[in-house]
Amino acid sequence: MTITLRIPDIDADDLPLEEQAYRRLRQALMEGIFSPGDKLSIRRIAEALGTSPMPARTALRRLATEQALDALPSGTVLVPRLTRAAFREVSAIRAELEPLAIRLAATRVDARKLDALTAVVAEHDAARAAGRPEVYLQKDREFLFGLYREADAPMLLSMIEALWLRRGPLFWDARWILMGRPPQAAHRHELMLAALRRGAGEEAAQELKTEIERMTAFLIDAVQFEGEASAAPRPIRRRQSAAR
């Protein structure tokens, strides 16, 4: 890891440094600041964050605890490189938990929220048309987590966040691939919204489960996973400048 880190700032100056560090690192994981396999040393992260090592150390340990990062027996912390099996596992868990969140949200979400999320879907599709994968991924997240928060199920939300963090770097690497799918194949968010408007939570949950399963099947064939020989050129693994 020889590239200068540009870890995002966040607007939370009144929180303890350790919490700020944690949140900034979470965001960095979702936004491609790190690549799969990167080694995160406490001192280097602390320097990048502009703190002493303690907050960085705590934040890294917290992220390892929730499996957003991998910790080796030596204590070294790495950005996860997912094997094919690990990616399947994450997806299988998502396919159970995220529909559950939708079912719970369906009993609580109101029309105003659904309208707001309709606008997010439009922005999601616009980002796709404009060729802005970073915005595309961010709108996908904004849509789904907008719904999951309606579930008012804090532990479930935290678990889903951990799943997204774990596969965040891989998704970032695959962002052009993901965005290159035809719109009707890429997501079923309109279908979900339509179902939710009819009060059909189970149907919306099923649409999401299908979306996750199909995205998994698509990426399984499209991505180079850890531990597999290079039968094709490696997908682009380096960061480009963030478009946002």
- Give the binding site for DNA (CB under 7 A): 16-19, 39-44, 51-55, 57-58, 61, 72, 74-77
Shortest distance, position 46 Cβ to DNA, whole Å: 7
Cα separation, 175 vs 177, whole angstroms: 5
Q: Judged by CB under 8 A, does residue 154 bind a copy of itself?
A: yes
In order of 6, 45, 86, 171, 209, the CA distances from 220 in angstroms are 30, 32, 11, 12, 16
Shortest distance, position 113 Cβ to DNA, whole Å: 32
Work out the number of other CB atoms within 10 angstroms of the CB of residue 244.
Answer: 10
- Could you say which of 2, 110, 155, 221 contacts a copy of itself (CB under 8 A)? 155
Stretch that binds a copy of itself, among 84-92, 176-184, 213-221, 222-230 (CB under 8 A): 84-92
Q: Judged by CB under 8 A, does residue 104 bind a copy of itself?
A: yes
Q: Which of 241, 117, 240 is nearest to 187 (CA)?
A: 117
Binding partner at 147 among a copy of itself, DNA, none, C-beta below 5 to 8 Å by kind? none
Cα separation, 163 vs 140, whole angstroms: 15
In the numeric block, which tokens belong to residue 58? 């705590």
In the numeric block, which tokens belong to residue 217? 């099947």
Cα separation, 133 vs 12, whole angstroms: 26
Cα separation, 60 vs 216, whole angstroms: 28
Q: Judged by CB under 8 A, does residue 223 bind a copy of itself?
A: no
Binding partner at 161 among DNA, a copy of itself, none, C-beta below 5 to 8 Å by kind? none
- Could you say which of 58, 118, 210, 216 contacts a copy of itself (CB under 8 A)? 58
Q: Judged by CB under 8 A, does residue 202 bind a copy of itself?
A: no
Q: Judged by CB under 8 A, does residue 105 bind a copy of itself?
A: no
Nearer to a copy of itself, 156 or 194 (CB): 156
